[in-house]
Amino acid sequence: MSGPSRGRRRVLAALVAGAAAVWLARPSASGAPHDAYFRGLQAALRQAGIAEPTLVLDRERLRANIRRIAGHLAGKMALRVVVKSLPCPALLAEVAALAGTRRQMLFSLPQLEAMAKGGRDILLGKPLPAAAALAFYRQFSDMDFQPQRQLQWLADTPERLAQYRELARGQNLHLKLNFEIDVGLHRGGIADAATLRRMLDMVAEEPRLQWSGLMGYDAHVAKIPDLPGLRDKALRHARASYAACAALAREHPAGRIAEPCFNAAGSPTYRLYPGDGPENEVAVGSAMVKPSDFDLPLLDELLPACFIATPVLKALPRFELPYGVEWLGGLAGGWNANARRGYFIYGGNWQADPVSPPGLESSGLYGHSSNQQLLVGSGLQALAVDDTVFFRPRQSEAVLQQFGDIAVYEGGRIVDRWPVLPATG
């Protein structure tokens, strides 16, 4: 045999071997029916007659999470509940009762109008325009809530503080002001000692204003790349920055108050504060229900407690793309065993991912739909029309408000429906 013939045969053999290797490397079929937990959840929804997209809250898991968070804090730090992450009055009441706290953090005028009642201690989590504060005072009427004692507005710049000063003068109000400081997130806030002193001077010169503390949010600590030492360095910087601002404030005449509110952390980082610094409270919300963005090592002990449940409207014998490109759907199913079956669900395109039955995913070929989203799977899920697909939200804020009343699951049944707060920014 000639040399060129042997060469061609070697090339052909290599191509065949390569093609075989690629074919053998194609995704194998995965998936399974609902496990016992989600079978029970599906049965409870059917018994309750719920057949539309619904946010389901597992009350037993919620309570377990609250107890674990309280145990983590162990009385060393106070707990302030983040309302935007748990935007449901009954849910907030459940958390407050079990955690033993009356402290809340709010982020919008509608939230403030809804929650400024009774004995709550409220801290704004972002600096609202003075016009929003004026709107609050114009409509506020709850005699059991005293804003001058129970409400801390947030100021991040001398200009914002000046707006609140003019509001206090113009409306003859007494305002408590907490100062937002930049501890490394760089989303705004006081970043230098000179600005902090200037703002404290402004408070000291205006008898209608009272400084109440500091708020330093450290979300970047949990989100920066986990390179060796990088997160620890960010945490040390955040705490050192906080300590420096707290020391400066306490030395200023305006800062000499009995119990300043030194708020720090959030759900991803609250466990990093052992109570050995000036920070005396942490803000926690999403960790109570643990959406998937909070699958972090520090939160491993907490359980997912909220799910989106939605019925299957159409269970197709095979996944097909629209007319003209059906062949592409056939190729996809031939290559990937997990794209052989198609399921259209009621609604979709949420900030959430399918979690049960396992092995379902959105089709990148078909695209997203908020009306009837297509999910593809291997068929091992054994889904039929009117069965339920469960999604796990990536976050709790906003998502919990998309489905009307929350269905409360406890003891194998839907035991209540909890109204949510209006969606706000």
The token pair that represents 311 in the structure block: 């019925």
| pLDDT for position 41 | 98
Which CATH code, of 2.40.37, 3.30.2000, 2.160.20, 1.10.3470, is assigned to 32-54+304-418? 2.40.37
The SS3 call for residue 78 is strand
Query: Given the structure tokens 């945490």, which residue do they identify?
Result: 235
Q: How far apart are alpha carbons 41 and 35 in whole angstroms? A: 10
Q: Is the pTM of this model over 0.85?
A: yes
Helix (H) or strand (E) holding 345: strand 341-345
Classify strands 281-284 and 352-356 as parallel, antiparallel or unpaired.
Answer: unpaired
11-to-5, 287, 398 alpha-carbon distances in Å: 10, 57, 58
Helix (H, G, I), strand (E, B) or coil at 151: strand
Instruction: Give the homologous superfamily in CATH for domain 59-291.
Output: Alanine racemase (3.20.20.10)
143 confidence band (pLDDT: 50, 70, 90): confident
Could you tell me if 270 and 218 are in contact, meaning their C-beta atoms sit under 8 angstroms apart?
no
Average pLDDT on 58-74 reads 97
Kindly report, residue by residue over 340-396, the tens digit of the pLDDT: 889 999 999 999 999 999 999 988 766 788 999 999 999 999 999 999 999 999 999
Start and end residues for every CATH 2.40.37 domain found in the chain: 32-54+304-418
pLDDT in tens, 174-196: 999 999 999 999 999 999 999 99
CB burial string 187-226: b at 16+ within 10 A, e below: eebbbeeebbbebbebbeebebbbbbbbbbbbebbbeeee
Query: Under the phi-then-psi rule, with left for phi > 0, alpha for psi from -120 to 50, and beta for the rest, what region is 156?
Result: alpha
Amino acid letter, 150: Q
**Average pLDDT score over residue span 15-29:** 52
For the chain, where do the domains classified as CATH 3.20.20.10 start and end? 59-291
**Confidence at residue 19, expressed as pLDDT on a 0 to 100 scale:** 43
3-state class (DSSP) for residue 221: helix
What was the pLDDT predicted at 80?
Answer: 98
Q: What one-character-per-residue DSSP string does 241-253 give?
A: HHHHHHHHHHHSG
